[in-house]
Chains A and B, each alone.
Chain A
Amino acid sequence: MSIQNAPIDEERAQIKAQKELAHEIGNLPYLGEMEREDNEYVFPLHVRLPRVIFDENRQTPQDVKFMSSKRVGEIRVNAESGEVNRTRIHDIKSNIRQQKRVVEEAVQKALVRSSARKFSKLPFPELRYTPILDILSQLLIEGLIEEAEIEAMSGQYERHYKDYIEILEEAGLVRMNDGQVEADDYLIEIEARDASPPEKLNAAIAHFFEEGTNDIDTIRQILGPYLTIAGYYYMQVLESGEMPRVTEDEFREQLDKTYTGSDRELKKFKLAHYLIQLEDVGLLESDDEDGPRTWEGEDDVWNDILREQDLLEPASEIIA
């Protein structure tokens, strides 16, 4: 029997899908345009996630903005039996979370690229960052690294340094030449500047951050809590359209969500230090004039982020 002659017609199927959505799923998703597949009506589930913008004190809603529409699942209605099947709630939820992550990532990329110089001035004690500094310092001071020097290290370190050489190659800072690591075009240009070695190293790191936004996972590992904190703050600016005052508790909550295990406790303990360092390089600013201390962003940082229109495309709906 063709679907046209089936006992459940299109309208009935639509009502069944609407009821499933309203009573079993929730009010946020909506039904997209129906598709037919064999003897089933397929209703895609889409969502345009609302983001309620609160006033400065986070008490009163001031505006609502909606993220771009995204398919997060489907409801299928059998044309013969009327049986309803759908994507599991857990999967719908994880698809929605993914949509939010795309926007957060867009803001982080724009922030890193537009404020690369500021990030490069942060003192990074994190282990993952050390090989990059080692490689760039070696090239700036010694001019060359013999591949054999790296191969002479223990397996774990050898792998570690070789991975970072590859990353730096992609950023146009180093190149491999006949068993040697040498400066590539950007690093040569930086070497030629009339600047001290630390200034040259900062410039190289800044370039690495600018170029590294395609590989935001690596950048996130390197910038770690600094990017979590600053990225969260400028995401709030994107959503509210103004510089909100954010408390340390709010940042602590973000670290809580981002890290796990003992790392989480360590990062939370170090929050005050991270904030001072972010203020020192001009990414955030503290204010304790009216009551408890809060943190605000910098206009120049935000204006620079907004210039990164290509990176901000996934967030364009919120900016509009």
Chain B
Amino acid sequence: MVYCVYMLIEYCRTVHPVDLVRDTTPALNPEEIKDFIKVRPMGWAVDENDIEALSTAVSPIEFELREFERSPSTQKLYNILEDRLERELPTIAIVDAIQIQEQRTNRNISSNGGQTEHAVVVVGLNDRDVYLNDPWGGMQVPVDRDTFGEAWDIGLNRLITMSLQSTLEDH
């Protein structure tokens, strides 16, 4: 999670197409991000308060933690991701790493059951695949939409979306 947040901030600071976004986004290194994201012995445990505090620190970026208590349709997921990507903004998705890894490596991992929540950054989308920057597995990794949809349909179905302050959105 910490490295996904770091990727998003660095993206805005160094890659985003709008000059003003790049110029005004502050730098935060992973250690500094840990001051905002709770990391417990059993992994990260992010909540709305963490994300709100983080947003204040990285203005003009605004993060939002979105939790869906009951599984929404995957179409809803893809609508959100597409909407963000059209605005040149990647999104953090919490997925089951086992399903993602199984497809990527073509290895049978899920037959033994279980799941492991893991944060990835969605950086692209087409009719067939979702493209992920995965702290465990490289950049622009393609995962087919069905697998990604199922891997996301766990726990609280969480996304961390990013937006820019309204003055910057207009650019």
What is A's interface to B at a CB cutoff of 8 Å? 11, 15, 18-19, 21-31, 46-50, 52, 61, 63-64, 66, 68-69, 89, 92-93, 96, 317, 320
Looking at chain B's contact residues, the main secondary structure is loop
Using known A-B contacts A50-B97, A64-B101, A89-B40, determine if residue A69 contacts B113 with beta carbons closer than 8 Å.
yes
Whether B125 is near chain A, meaning CB under 8 Å from some CB there, is: no
A-B contacts, 7 of them at CB < 8 A, read A22-B45, A23-B47, A25-B42, A27-B44, A48-B98, A61-B137, A92-B42
Using known A-B contacts A30-B115, A64-B137, determine if residue A320 contacts B42 with beta carbons closer than 8 Å.
no
Find out whether the CB atom of B112 lies under 8 angstroms from the CB atom of A27: no
Residues of chain A with a CB closer than 8 A to B156's CB:
15, 18-19, 22
Residues of chain B with a CB closer than 8 A to A92's CB:
41-42
Chain B 92-125 interface 0/1 with A at a Cβ cutoff of 8 Å (1 = within): 0010011001000101110011111111000000
Whether B158 is near chain A, meaning CB under 8 Å from some CB there, is: yes
Residues of chain B with a CB closer than 8 A to A320's CB:
107-108
A15–B105 alpha-carbon span in the complex (Å) = 32
Find out whether the CB atom of A89 lies under 8 angstroms from the CB atom of B42: yes
Find out whether the CB atom of B158 lies under 8 angstroms from the CB atom of A48: no
Find out whether the CB atom of B136 lies under 8 angstroms from the CB atom of A52: yes
Q: How far is the CB of B53 from chain A (nearest CB, A)?
A: 14
A24–B44 alpha-carbon span in the complex (Å) = 9
Find out whether the CB atom of A64 lies under 8 angstroms from the CB atom of B136: yes
Whether B72 is near chain A, meaning CB under 8 Å from some CB there, is: no
A50–B98 alpha-carbon span in the complex (Å) = 9
Using known A-B contacts A19-B156, A64-B137, A66-B114, determine if residue A25 contacts B45 with beta carbons closer than 8 Å.
yes
Residues of chain B with a CB closer than 8 A to A21's CB:
155
Find out whether the CB atom of A30 lies under 8 angstroms from the CB atom of B116: yes
A211–B158 alpha-carbon span in the complex (Å) = 51
Find out whether the CB atom of A28 lies under 8 angstroms from the CB atom of B112: no
| Other A-B pairs beyond A27-B116, A92-B42, 19, CB < 8 Å | A15-B69, A22-B155, A24-B40, A26-B41, A27-B1, A27-B42, A27-B43, A29-B42, A30-B155, A61-B137, A64-B97, A64-B136, A66-B101, A66-B114, A69-B112, A89-B40, A92-B41, A93-B41, A320-B107
